[in-house]
Structure 1
Amino acid sequence: MSIYNNVLVVLDPSADEQKALDRAIELARKQGCQLTAFLSVYEFSYEMTTMLSGDERESMKQSVIKDRELWVKTFLEQPSALGLNIKMHVVWHNRPFEAVVKTVLDNNYDLVIKGTHDHDVLKSMIFTPTDWHILRKCPCPVLLVKDHAWPAKGNIIAAVNAGSEQEHHLSLNQRVIHKAQQMSQLLDARVHLVNAYPGTPVNIAIEIPEFNPQEYNDTLRRHHKDAILSLAEKHQISNEQCHVLEGMPEDVIPKLAKKLDAEMVIIGTIGRTGLSAAIIGNTAEHVIDRLDCDVLAMKPADFICPLEKS
């Protein structure tokens, strides 16, 4: 049974190698699915060509689209020779992330695969505004591809918020673990659960002399450990594969991923946008930016895409 059936693969117009497409082909070989190679193009200069008529500008736009379609086809020749039928979809849009999300909504894709950029100077993975917008607004899971391979007998990390009693966190935990188990079967990997918990606030220990920071920390750790072990038991995951670590998720999860040499981290994201995103931030984004392996970002079951509402 396929985990994903209809997959949108976002190509990078600035790259000679398309790692998102390579990963998508690997996925299709493992479980069978329909792939669509997607590219959003836009040339601002054509919109500013006031001397041309509307029909002439449209003709020039179609010419650019045809040219990019030929470019996309060069990446599809080899998989086609191997028997993979990959569709192609090139659109004209001045906001790439909106083009991706609209295409997902219009065609009911159940997974988006996109590569991230390698910063030549820092030699680290960075995200563009398009990446952030897709991560926050795409209604289906998003697989952000890096350079780590998918070896057999590897490790998949499911990042959970086990200590929370909020309904959206409880629901998202279940979705993240379920997806991790599906992917572990597909990749022949082991599932690890990780839960980060905050350390003792320094200001409390200073302001309240009778406050016992060690006792507080031990109590908090036990609460999170009991919660994650309860989650693990429900999903038949051994205690040895549960990790309760003190610190912020953006510090804890990348360290564990490096220690386990994980090939994938699965994380929930509530898709916070607007002012709340600017003030509170999105934990998933801070985590992803520091990982060297693929990241599968999951939305809550009741997530409503901002573009769909408008």
Structure 2
Amino acid sequence: MSCVNNILVVLDSDKQQQKALNRALHLARISQASVTLMLSIYDFSYEMTTMLAADERNSMRDSLINDRKVWIEDLLEDYNTRELDISIKVLWHNRPYEAIIETAITGEHDIIVKATHAHEGFAHLIFTPTDWHLLRKAPCHVLLVKEHEWPENGKVLAAIHTTGDNDHHDSLNYRITESAQRFANCLHSEVHLVNAYPGAPVTIAAEIPEFDTGNYREVIAENHQQALAKHAQRFSIPESRQHVREGLPEQVIPELAEELDAELVVLGTIGRTGLSAALLGNTAEHVIEQINCDLLAVKPAGFESPVKV
């Protein structure tokens, strides 16, 4: 079973070490997938050249694009690319995430591979970086790459949400687990499932003294364990690899990923936009800051990117 078929790699324009490229070439070899290396560039000094003739402005832009193509070709000389189907695309665009998503749509890519870096302080909550735009708006899987290696016989951790009683949650859980299994098969790794459940509400315990928080937690935990076991049975995942823990997903998932020394965390993401997206974000966005391994974000079935080509 192939992990992927058509990979779009987002290169770091200012780095010689390309984590995303390393990961993508690994995926391409084990999946016999095609690879497109892309770079989105824009020089804001271009805006100051409006007094030049159109052909002069175009010549300036084309020269910069060609320089970057040569840089990518030079970069590839340090890699073993024999028998790989690789193409190069450099786009002139002042919004990198839009260029990436437009390329993914027109190229019918089934995964975007991009290195991710720490975002310090409060800024990333308001000024949304490219990673967050891709998690919310990309039409396909997004693999955000960190430093952790991909050893054989490793562990892939799939985070699912079992409390939803509708087809939407069930469908997304299926897509998350199926994607985790495909990657685990390619990487000769095993899939673990994790489901976080909330503890007893503090307000109820404070307002109703006779409220039995211990019994409440036991009942909730048992319900989640049964739901997770039912889901795991569809994929023949044994009980020893089913993890139900009390707490918020953004706390539970990174803790378990570290305990397991997982090489990949797989979870679902939704396309939240507007102020709620800027201030709240998705579980994936909170998790990626805290884990030391790669994250694979899976979209719900039928998701359409708000970025139009």
Same fold, judged at TM 0.5 (above): yes
Residues 155-180 of structure 1: CA deviation (Å, up to 9, x unaligned): 00010001221322111100011111
Where does structure 2 lack aligned partners over 5 or more consecutive residues?
Answer: none
The amino acid of 1:29's aligned partner reads: R
Q: Is the 8 A contact 2:195 2:243 kept in 1?
A: yes
The amino acid of 2:113's aligned partner reads: I
Q: Is the 8 A contact 2:33 2:85 kept in 1?
A: no
The amino acid of 1:201's aligned partner reads: P
**What residue in structure 2 maps to residue 82 of structure 1?**
82
Where does structure 1 lack aligned partners over 5 or more consecutive residues?
Answer: none
Q: Residue 54 of structure 1: CA displacement?
A: 2.1
Q: Is the 8 A contact 2:191 2:241 kept in 1?
A: yes
Q: Distance in 2 between matches of 1:283 and 1:172?
A: 14
Q: Residue 48 of structure 1: CA displacement?
A: 1.7
SS at match of 2:304: coil
Residues 80-109 of structure 1: CA deviation (Å, up to 9, x unaligned): 653323110000000000000011111111
The amino acid of 1:177's aligned partner reads: T
Percent same amino acid at aligned positions? 52
**What residue in structure 1 maps to residue 166 of structure 2?**
166
Q: Residue 217 of structure 1: CA displacement?
A: 1.0
**What residue in structure 1 maps to residue 111 of structure 2?**
111
Q: Residue 279 of structure 1: CA displacement?
A: 5.3
Residues 153-205 of structure 1: CA deviation (Å, up to 9, x unaligned): 11000100012213221111000111111111101111000000111111110
The alignment of Structure 1 onto Structure 2 pairs a total of residues equal to: 305
Q: Distance in 1 between matches of 2:20 and 2:128?
A: 15
Say which is worse superposed, 70-79 or 138-147, in terms of deviation: 70-79
SS at match of 1:307: coil
**What residue in structure 1 maps to residue 202 of structure 2?**
202
Q: Distance in 1 between matches of 2:81 and 2:297?
A: 32
Q: Is the 8 A contact 1:176 1:298 kept in 2?
A: yes
**What residue in structure 1 maps to residue 62 of structure 2?**
62
Residues 252-274 of structure 1: CA deviation (Å, up to 9, x unaligned): 00010100000000100012111
The amino acid of 1:102's aligned partner reads: E
The amino acid of 2:76's aligned partner reads: L
Q: Residue 118 of structure 1: CA displacement?
A: 5.1
The amino acid of 2:176's aligned partner reads: V
1:237 pairs with 2:250: no
Output the aligned Cα RMSD.
Answer: 1.9
**What residue in structure 1 maps to residue 261 of structure 2?**
261
Q: Distance in 1 between matches of 2:118 and 2:253?
A: 21
**What residue in structure 2 maps to residue 295 of structure 1?**
295
Q: Distance in 2 between matches of 1:208 and 1:304?
A: 45
**What residue in structure 1 maps to residue 129 of structure 2?**
129
The amino acid of 2:233's aligned partner reads: E
**What residue in structure 2 maps to residue 153 of structure 1?**
153
**What residue in structure 2 maps to residue 13 of structure 1?**
13
**What residue in structure 1 maps to residue 182 of structure 2?**
182
Q: Is the 8 A contact 1:161 1:195 kept in 2?
A: yes
- Name the CA shift for 1:78/1:55 in 2 (closer, same or farther; >3 Å): same
The amino acid of 2:236's aligned partner reads: Q
SS at match of 2:285: helix
